[in-house]
Chain A
Amino acid sequence: MSTFPFARDEAPDPAKRRIALICAKGGLDECYPVLIMANAARMTGIGTSVFFTFYGLDVVTEARVEHLHVNLVGNPTSPLPPALAGLPGMGSLTTSFMRKKLEELDLPGPREMIEMLSDSGCELYACELAMRMFERTPEDLLPQIRAVITATDFFEKTAGADIIFV
């Protein structure tokens, strides 16, 4: 009766349970799962790192983060038939629709999600090779990015974590 039902020892330990998410896609619909999963992991007391690479780099690029798009073409689960998905304006239409939906659900935008992740102690990294490929400098990135590192560095930093490629 004297011990509290939820003993502190049972609490999740971010040092013991870790996940490493790899965000390789920059679509609005493609980056949200990463951001939400990372945030939920932090809220659950899981140590979390995210590696932004290839088009995922857009999510943490200052000039791009506000302009992430939903890409319908080549998306097998797109609500639009393929013949319509490629029409001009369809992407913008779907993007604004999704933005509205996210707002209705009280989900913050990508920039605020990145800020939240950083504040909650999630480690955010940008891919060094992708930076060179897209000719970006660390100044182009959001200030929440902890460092520009190589994939090898990332795997070394996240040793023991569960790797999740999104």
Chain B
Amino acid sequence: MDAELVARLDALQRRLDYVVERQRWTESLIEEMTPVVREALTAVSGPLAAAEARGWFAAARELGGLADRLVEAYGPDQMHELADHLARIFDTVKSFTRPEVLELAQDAAEVLDHADDVEPMGFSGAIRVMRDAEVQRGVAVALELLRHLGQAHEPGPPRPDAAPVSPGTPPPGVPRPVPRAPAPASAPAPAADEVVTWRGHAFTPEGFLVDPSTWTEELAEQVAQALGIALTEEHWAVLRWARADYLDQGASPNVRRVAAGSQVGIRRMYELFPRTPGKTTAMIAGIPKPVGCV
């Protein structure tokens, strides 16, 4: 019994020794590895920091956001179309990365870097500079480029996603000439459900005869009476002139026009047809409500 116990303890002792030994190895390994790992970390973090400084991560994040937006904004069909265009895009990129083009871009960047040194130039300065052969050549190239841009906008098959560009259309930002506003027309005819019938005639809710051709002098008397106006010959002169003018012009005259046309004068108009002389005249004369504020 005891011998068995001793044997077991012995085995345990040997295992413990082994564990302790391994622990010691590990410790020494860590001790030895620490400087190496530190060095390695430093070595890695250096380029990472540099990348950070150069905006790689920000750029990557932006790219991610761009991808998100692409997915949100474009359907599978459009992505497919985009893929079809990739070859062309790569061609373009290739032609852009030609040494001479890159050199040009570098030149342009250098010029922009020194933009602070450039003196502001007036019109005469620009003319003077035009004598320079290099500037002349540059202008010629720029004009050629502009000509190509113009050709690209010549009427072709209209792109479905873009507003149609016709030859005469000015570039965006230039307002088109506004056509002259038509002469103020009379109020539009009301919808059928907005009509009130009174004495066998259809009126708008405001009290204007819907169909001026159904007007009679008898109706005028009735309307005037309903409005509290006893029609005199002076009233009639105004009403007849307003009606004739409406039939002639296709639009109801306003107070100023009636006052001048019937030679009654504005002051008298406000006495003959109190409060709202223009509207009241039109109402009794069986013509639409006059439009306009003068």
Residues of A in contact with B (beta carbons under 8 Å apart): 1, 3-8, 11-14, 36, 39-40, 42-45, 104, 106-108, 113, 116, 119-121
Contacts and interface: CB of A to CB of B under 8 A. Distances in A.
Contact of B276 (A3, A12, A116): A12
Contact of A5 (B196, B228, B276, B279): B196
Interface stretch (B4-12, B51-59, B262-270): B262-270
A39 B293 contact: yes
Interface stretch (B108-116, B132-140, B146-154, B202-210): B202-210
Contacts of B204: 5
A5 B204 CA distance: 8
Nearest to A44: B276
B283 interface: yes
Contacts of A4: 198, 207, 223, 226-227
Contacts of B85: none
Interface string B205-219: 111000000000000
Contacts of B207: 4-6
A39 B293 CA distance: 7
Contacts of B270: 42, 119-121
Contacts of A39: 293-294
A8 B279 CA distance: 13
B275 A40 contact: no
Nearest to A107: B294
B275 A45 contact: yes
B15 interface: no
Given A39-B293, A43-B254, 16 more contacts: A3-B198, A4-B226, A5-B198, A5-B203, A5-B206, A6-B227, A6-B283, A12-B276, A13-B275, A43-B279, A44-B276, A104-B180, A107-B294, A108-B256, A116-B256, A120-B270
A38 B294 CA distance: 10
Contacts of A113: 294
A40 B227 contact: no
Contacts of A43: 254-255, 276-279, 293
Contacts of B267: 119-121
Given A116-B266, A119-B266, A8 B293 contact: no
Most buried by A among B205, B283, B293: B293
B197 interface: yes
Most buried by A among B204, B207, B265: B207
27 contacts: A4-B198, A4-B207, A4-B226, A5-B198, A5-B204, A5-B205, A8-B226, A8-B227, A8-B228, A11-B227, A12-B275, A12-B276, A14-B275, A36-B293, A39-B294, A40-B293, A43-B255, A43-B277, A43-B278, A43-B279, A45-B276, A104-B180, A108-B256, A113-B294, A116-B256, A119-B265, A121-B270
B166 to A, nearest CB: 27
A74 B11 CA distance: 103
A58 to B, nearest CB: 21
B195 to A, nearest CB: 9
